[in-house]
Amino acid sequence: MQSFNILGAICLTLLLSGCATTVTKPSADVKQQFKLGQNCVQPVNLKVGEKISFSAAENPTTGYGWQLQQPLNYLTANSQYVADPVEKQIVGSGGTRTFYFTATQSGQENIQLAYVRSWAKDQPAQSWQCQVNIQP
User: What is the predicted pLDDT for the residue at 29?
Assistant: 80
Q: What are phi and psi of 130, to 5 degrees?
A: -155, 130
Assess if residue 17 is contained within a domain. Answer: no
Assess if residue 4 is contained within a domain. Answer: no
Domains in the chain, number: 1
First CA to last CA distance, the chain: 65
Mean pLDDT of 89-111: 91
* Torsion from C-alpha of 16, 62, 23, 28, nearest 10 degrees: 150
User: What is the per-residue pLDDT across 7-54, written as a single tens digit (0 to 9) for each?
Assistant: 333 333 333 333 333 334 445 689 999 999 998 878 999 999 999 999
Mean pLDDT taken over the chain: 81
CATH number at residue 105: 2.60.40.2020
pLDDT at residue 75 tops 50: yes
User: What is the per-residue pLDDT across 116-135, written as a single tens digit (0 to 9) for each?
Assistant: 998 888 899 999 999 999 99
- 33 is in which domain, residue-wise? 22-135
Assess if residue 14 is contained within a domain. Answer: no
Q: Where are the beta strands (DSSP E) in the chain?
A: 30-35, 44-47, 51-58, 64-68, 75-83, 95-103, 107-117, 126-135
